[in-house]
Amino acid sequence: GAVVSQHPSWVICKSGTSVKIECRSLDFQATTMFWYRQFPKQSLMLMATSNEGSKATYEQGVEKDKFLINHASLTLSTLTVTSAHPEDSSFYICSARDLGLAGVTYEQYFGPGTRLTVT
Amino acid sequence: RKEVEQDPGPFNVPEGATVAFNCTYSNSASQSFFWYRQDCRKEPKLLMSVYSSGNEDGRFTAQLNRASQYISLLIRDSKLSDSATYLCVVNRRKGYSTLTFGKGTMLLVSP
């Protein structure tokens, strides 16, 4: 079945540094990728929707200058957490939707997540 | 009111038990409904979609009540491997765009 990969799977960084997380769709093309964040014992919260070749759409309350999203190809989206702080420590999960046939909506596939710890 | 509400649990049940989870959603315009399963420190995985007429997949049965804006999941003959957090997920439009997740209900199945 469809597979979405994320890299790295976990990262520890110092406060003030930037961290880049990659999300790849491995056997399908994804026009749309989604970035979620999940704090312990909380629900997944959509941060932004990323469409290939265009600017990402951010959810209310998510700083676009802090969470930079680039979706340069149909199989790769990146999320960069700039000037990370301890409160950014979380589980970041990407999701990709199959391009599929016109007018047909396919399932969203989730990546395995990236656990970010900022010290 | 939260968009999707679930009892966080945990639900502790013995193997072989039947257990039911409920979920309510606030947006009456929601079009699509799903149950996802999430294991500890892992990504969520689609368990099943929920259809208006109700649907069954093996030991799992999902029901939707649009009038009450309520979704349920029934698990029969619980297995140890069913231990996980079950996420109720709704979408305002048909298909899978803009999914809204509940916090999840934790299930612990013991021998």
User: How close B71 gets to chain A, by Cα (Å)?
Assistant: 17
Which residues, given as ranges, of chain A have pLDDT below 50? none
Asked if B43 has any chain A CB less than 8 Å from its own CB, the reply is yes
The pLDDT value given to residue A2:
62
Asked if B46 has any chain A CB less than 8 Å from its own CB, the reply is yes
Mean pLDDT (chain B) is 91
Count Cβ neighbours within 10 Å for each residue of B13-50 and write b for 16 or more, e otherwise: beeeeebebebbbeeeebebbbbbbbeeeebbebbbbb
Among the ranges given (A28-32, B60-64, B72-76), the one the predictor scored with the smallest mean pLDDT: A28-32
pLDDT digits (tens, 9 = 90+) for B24-56: 999 888 888 999 999 988 999 999 999 888 899
pLDDT digits (tens, 9 = 90+) for B13-23: 999 999 999 99
Q: Mean of the pLDDT values across residues B63-87?
A: 96
Parallel, antiparallel or unpaired: strands A10-13 and A114-118: parallel
